[in-house]
């Protein structure tokens, strides 16, 4: 990525594309999910925090009900799309990266935000890394379009509502059947905290998370195996769990608890059993992790992270050899716990490490990837950062 903060890069690119400064610049973060995977679309619990990596949107209004979109690539080059009329927006038009901001504009029209705009986008959230670059672009676009109407500084409730609009853009316009985890993380996370979200009730709790203060780090290991949720695997898992809920006569698998799980599993066809077991035990693990964090006992979540990975690897079957190698190597080298994060099938793992062990863990993972003949992983320490907001 070109040097500089994404907001500055977006503002600069805006000036070079349009010859005038933007009206404002808004940005939204990527996320890691500490725990609670594939629970969101089952009405369950999740526990993400926002990354410092952000997608920025420099924007100005237009009077002709057209939307113009441009993006700054990692080489600094600006790619501009032909402006498109708001009435011409429909799923499939436009496609690729432009579908994300366009999908948001398409959804927002239903809520009375129906004015054209010039948007120029830049960011440093790694794409295809399972770190929610899609949600970041959606949320940044949404708050930019709202900001152009004069609406900034949304309260928590409004932010959650905007997250749901962005999820709709992803589901209905882009065509990917994700839950609401990523968009809620991007909109609602607060610096220095993890966000405990009960998807069913919408209840949120900001739980303080100061890993550095406890001598710990959350190390992100981006395997650089491209993860995509557009393929059939994500949708298959989602359909499987929804079918299981239907067969059990429940609204969602959230209604199965560890106490009622064995009885529920006995009533299901064999292929659905591991899927349900993952969702039920993962929800319980989120609750356990939150309990530790509320008491400030960050190190105690290590074994919970480990158990989560095993469940995703063996029951939900969404890991891959590179993620397993990252997790196993990190643990052997001293991590207190490790798991893949996000949708799976590639992307990133996280490892909770003592700061004093971090270097050893990083070296072990890098060496293991080299020995296995895998692409070099990208490693960085994730610090809970701010949610979406106006930058300029
Ligand atoms: C992806 C999806 F976008 C989320 O909604 C969630 O299901 C996650 O995978 C798995 O927990 O990030």
pLDDT of residue 232: 87
Residues 120, 126, 129, CA angle at the centre, nearest 5°? 135
User: What does the pLDDT average to over 116-136?
Assistant: 97
pLDDT of residue 228: 74
d(CA 218, CA 104): 32
> Closest Cα to residue 217, out of 365, 364, 334?
334
In the chain, % of residues over pLDDT 70: 99
Cβ–ligand 1 distance for 282 under 6 Å, the answer: no
pLDDT of residue 229: 76
Cβ–ligand 1 distance for 337 under 6 Å, the answer: no
| pLDDT of residue 231 exceeding 90 | no
Cβ–ligand 1 distance for 342 under 6 Å, the answer: yes
pLDDT of residue 14: 98
**β 348-354/389-390 pair status:** unpaired
Q: Among 106-115, 148-157, 177-186, 220-229, which stretch is predicted with the lowest mean pLDDT?
A: 220-229
**Ligand 1, pocket-test mutation among 315, 343, 349, 350, most atoms within 8 A of CB:** 343
Provide the residue ranges of all domains of the chain, joining segments of one domain with +.
Answer: 6-206, 210-382
d(CA 388, CA 279): 29
CB count, 10 Å around CB of 262? 11
The residue whose CA has the least distance to atom 5 of ligand 1 is 179
The catalytically annotated residue of 40, 124, 182, 306 is 182
Q: What is the pLDDT of residues 356-391, one digit of tens each?
A: 999 999 999 999 999 999 999 999 999 999 999 999
pLDDT of residue 227: 79
* Distance of CA 283 from the midpoint of ligand 1 (Å): 14
User: What does the pLDDT average to over 310-325?
Assistant: 98
* Distance of CA 40 from the midpoint of ligand 1 (Å): 7
Q: Is 182 a catalytic residue?
A: yes
User: What does the pLDDT average to over 189-207?
Assistant: 98
| pTM of structure | 0.97
The residue whose CA has the least distance to atom 3 of ligand 1 is 178
Cβ–ligand 1 distance for 227 under 6 Å, the answer: no
CATH class of 6-206: alpha beta
Average pLDDT, the chain: 97
72 pLDDT tier (thresholds 50, 70, 90):
very high
Cβ–ligand 1 distance for 344 under 6 Å, the answer: no
d(CA 26, CA 231): 30
CATH class of 210-382: alpha beta
User: What does the pLDDT average to over 127-152?
Assistant: 97
* Distance of CA 214 from the midpoint of ligand 1 (Å): 29
In the chain, % of residues over pLDDT 90: 97
The residue whose CA has the least distance to atom 9 of ligand 1 is 343
**Ligand 1, pocket-test mutation among 182, 241, 350, most atoms within 8 A of CB:** 182
The residue whose CA has the least distance to atom 2 of ligand 1 is 178
Cβ–ligand 1 distance for 38 under 6 Å, the answer: yes
Q: What is the pLDDT of residues 318-342, one digit of tens each?
A: 999 999 999 999 999 999 999 999 9
The residue whose CA has the least distance to atom 7 of ligand 1 is 38
| pLDDT of residue 162 exceeding 80 | yes
Integer CA distances (angstroms), 51 to 32, 301, 338, 380, in order = 7, 20, 18, 11
User: What does the pLDDT average to over 252-268?
Assistant: 98
Residue 110 CB contacts under 8 Å (≥ 6 apart), including other chains: none
Cβ–ligand 1 distance for 37 under 6 Å, the answer: yes
* Distance of CA 234 from the midpoint of ligand 1 (Å): 9
pLDDT of residue 3: 63
Q: What are phi and psi of 143, to 5 degrees?
A: -75, -25
Q: What is the pLDDT of residues 273-284, one digit of tens each?
A: 999 999 999 999
* Distance of CA 193 from the midpoint of ligand 1 (Å): 20
* Distance of CA 360 from the midpoint of ligand 1 (Å): 30
pLDDT of residue 2: 53
pLDDT of residue 1: 42
């Amino acid at each position: 990525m070109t040097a500089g903060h994404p907001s500055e890069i977006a503002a600069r690119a805006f000036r070079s594309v349009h010859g005038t400064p933007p009206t404002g610049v808004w940005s939204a973060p990527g996320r890691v999910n500490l725990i609670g995977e594939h629970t969101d679309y089952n009405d369950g619990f999740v526990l993400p925090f926002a990354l410092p990596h952000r997608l920025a949107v420099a924007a100005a209004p237009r009077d002709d009900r057209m939307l113009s979109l441009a993006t700054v690539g990692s080489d600094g080059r600006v790619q501009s799309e032909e402006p498109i009329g708001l009435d011409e927006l429909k799923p499939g038009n436009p496609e690729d990266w432009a579908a994300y901001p366009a999908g948001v504009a398409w959804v927002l029209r239903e809520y009375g935000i129906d004015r054209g705009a010039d948007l120029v986008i830049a960011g440093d959230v790694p794409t295809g890394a399972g770190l929610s670059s899609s949600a970041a672009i959606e949320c940044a676009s949404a708050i930019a379009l709202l900001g152009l109407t004069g609406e900034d500084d949304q309260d928590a409730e409004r932010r959650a509502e905007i997250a749901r609009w962005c999820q709709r853009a992803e589901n209905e316009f882009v065509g990917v059947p994700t839950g609401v985890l990523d968009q809620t993380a991007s909109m609602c996370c607060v610096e220095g905290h993890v966000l405990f979200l009960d998807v069913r009730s919408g209840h949120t709790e900001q739980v303080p998370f100061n890993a550095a203060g406890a001598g710990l780090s959350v190390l992100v290991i981006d395997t650089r195996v491209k993860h995509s949720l557009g393929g059939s695997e994500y949708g298959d898992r989602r359909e499987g769990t929804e079918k299981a809920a239907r067969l059990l006569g429940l609204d969602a698998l959230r209604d199965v608890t560890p106490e009622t799980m064995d009885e529920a599993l006995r009533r299901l066809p064999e292929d659905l059993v591991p899927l349900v077991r993952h969702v039920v035990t993962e929800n319980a693990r989120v609750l356990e992790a939150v309990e530790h964090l509320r008491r400030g006992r960050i190190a105690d979540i290590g074994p919970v992270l480990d158990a989560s990975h095993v469940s995703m690897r063996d029951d939900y079957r969404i890991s891959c050899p590179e993620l397993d190698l990252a997790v196993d190597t990190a643990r052997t080298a001293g991590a207190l716990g490790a798991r893949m994060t996000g949708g799976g099938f590639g992307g990133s793992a996280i490892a909770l490490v003592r700061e004093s062990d971090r270097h050893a863990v990083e070296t072990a993972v890098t060496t293991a990837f080299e020995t296995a003949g895998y692409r070099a992983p990208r490693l960085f320490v994730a610090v809970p950062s701010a949610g979406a907001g106006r930058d300029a």
